[in-house]
Homo-oligomer: A and B are copies of this chain.
Amino acid sequence: MAKKNEEFVTQIASRQENFPQWYTDVILKTDMVDYSDVKGCMVIKPYGYAVWELIQSEMDRRFKETGHVNAYFPLFIPESLLKKEAEHVEGFAPEVAWVTHGGEEKLAERLCVRPTSETIICSMYSKWIQSYRDLPLLINQWANVVRWEKSTRPFLRTSEFLWQEGHTAHATAEEAEAETIKMLEVYREFAQNVLAIPVVVGQKSEKEKFAGAKATYTMEAMMQDGKALQMGTSHNLSDHFSKAYDITYLSREGKLEHCFTTSWGTSTRMIGGVIMVHGDDRGLVLPPKIAPIQVVILPIAMHKAGVLEKADELFASLKAAGLRVKVDDSDQSAGWKFNQWEMKGVPLRLEVGPKDIENNQVVLVRRDNHEKLFVSMDNLADTVKDLLDTVHTSMLNRALSLREENTREATTLEELKEGVQNGFVRAMWCGCRECEDAIKEKTGATTRCMPFEQKQISDVCVHCGKPASKMTYFAKAY
């Protein structure tokens, strides 16, 4: 048995030795995703899609609680419509897929497959919004989008991906800014309390901001290889799009005014983040809130009288308590099952055998730290729920510790360069594009954000030595 287990585990590369290979091994071997016949497009397999469904459900509830409703806008955007906002089209045109033919006929105008939907949504808002009474307009869309990428990796960067995009219109610049910040906070709270991922929140540089935005805010997470993953962004579009697409309203005072709009998005990319923040050399470690199976029940010596019945009974009671549970009563060996469900990242393994039944107990094994607990069958659902909460908190804290251990402050370029080899670096930056580009060229790191939580590390830019007032996060990034 021991040998078999070992073989099984060694199918996954070690994170230490080859992090990219580890990632690929994990996503493929756990049936999260598969490559397709279409270059750069992924197939999200049922296990991976179940994670996405749980993410959707948690996010959607938060959007609705903050007053947003869902709608659906067309996949295609006529070229002329896309081109109305100059910065926007410049940013997205190089990565757009173009439809040129419908059936046998050549189209009079090319259609772009949406890379994001500001243009089509703004053209509708222009029709829908007439008066201050129509504001704010708070709409979200769950959809697929396409960005023609040269180099792709499942979940992290694919030509097609699934996402949500919020698009709101407001009467004033202040309201638009407040919405932008509010939705970033919804994302941050979601990342922390659902994904168990601590994130740094702040503002993107001019270079890194969304094409067409006045300001882009972001949440950035540290992966176990020290690189940053942008997990979600929220854009204050000011009146840029409302001027390009003519979104106006009649104010209370009877004056025609331009609206102020925002947009904000998160995608299946977050699943890649979950994998790279929490996974270990045995495979996935899923946060309980988005684990398709939260508890896997393994009946031990299941041919013995009463074992399967007890497993089914426990299944029924945990399920009735709202938990996502599975009994594995397949004819595989116990060792195979241990490995299989560990690899799949199920937060808790519940073992129950003849001895346990005698003692009115079960064995619970935590996926995150392998801790083994013997607990009473009485009030089992409550025990399990509490333990899942504990697992969540442990995972969050461990990720937070890892980030803190690997975040340094730098006052010289050398320190910055060294720090971004395996983590984040906080440093002062003058804010100019030249320094940003030079730092990237010299260290491989990009500006991730100017965090809301500021600290004056020094008075001068880490690169040019000129006065600098903004502390900035630098990191290599996905």
Taking beta carbons and an 8 Å cutoff, which residues of A are in contact with B? 34, 36-38, 41-46, 48-50, 52-53, 69-78, 81, 93-104, 111, 113, 120, 123-124, 127-128, 139, 143-144, 146, 148, 159-160, 162
Contacts and interface: CB of A to CB of B under 8 A. Distances in A.
A46 B69 contact: yes
Contacts of A127: 34
Nearest to A111: B38
A281 to B, nearest CB: 26
Contacts of A70: 46, 49-50, 53
B78 A38 contact: yes
Chain multiplicity (copies):
2
A35 to B, nearest CB: 9
A73 to B, nearest CB: 5
A341 to B, nearest CB: 17
Given A70-B50, A99-B99, A43 B124 contact: yes
Contact of A44 (B43, B71, B78): B71
Contacts of A38: 74, 76-78, 111, 120
A256 to B, nearest CB: 22
Given A97-B102, A101-B98, A50 B69 contact: yes
A90 to B, nearest CB: 13
Contacts of A139: 46
A46 B128 CA distance: 12
Contacts of A102: 95-98, 148, 159
A70 B53 CA distance: 9
A41 B96 contact: no
Q: Which of A42, A94, A99, A146 has the most B CB atoms < 10 Å from its CB?
A: A99
Nearest to A139: B46
Given A38-B77, A76-B38, A71 B46 contact: yes
Contacts of A44: 71-72
A104 B100 contact: no
Contacts of A120: 36-38
B37 A123 contact: yes
Given A94-B103, A148-B103, A45 B71 contact: yes
30 contacts: A34-B124, A34-B128, A36-B73, A36-B124, A37-B120, A37-B123, A38-B76, A38-B78, A41-B74, A41-B75, A41-B76, A43-B74, A44-B72, A46-B139, A48-B71, A49-B70, A52-B72, A75-B113, A76-B97, A93-B103, A95-B102, A97-B101, A97-B111, A98-B100, A98-B102, A99-B99, A99-B113, A100-B100, A100-B101, A113-B113
Contact of A69 (B49, B73, B113, B128): B49
A93 to B, nearest CB: 7
B104 A43 contact: no
Given A49-B69, A50-B69, 17 more contacts: A36-B73, A36-B120, A36-B123, A37-B81, A38-B74, A38-B78, A44-B72, A46-B70, A46-B139, A49-B70, A49-B72, A75-B144, A94-B103, A95-B103, A98-B101, A99-B113, A143-B144
Contacts of A93: 103
A394 B123 CA distance: 41
Given A104-B94, A139-B46, A75 B37 contact: no
Contacts of A48: 71
Contacts of A100: 98-101
Contact of A162 (B72, B128, B159): B72
Q: Which of A38, A74, A123, A160 has the most B CB atoms < 10 Å from its CB?
A: A74
Q: Which of A42, A72, A73, A99 has the most B CB atoms < 10 Å from its CB?
A: A72
A297 B53 CA distance: 33
Given A41-B75, A71-B45, A74-B43, A103 B96 contact: yes
A346 to B, nearest CB: 16
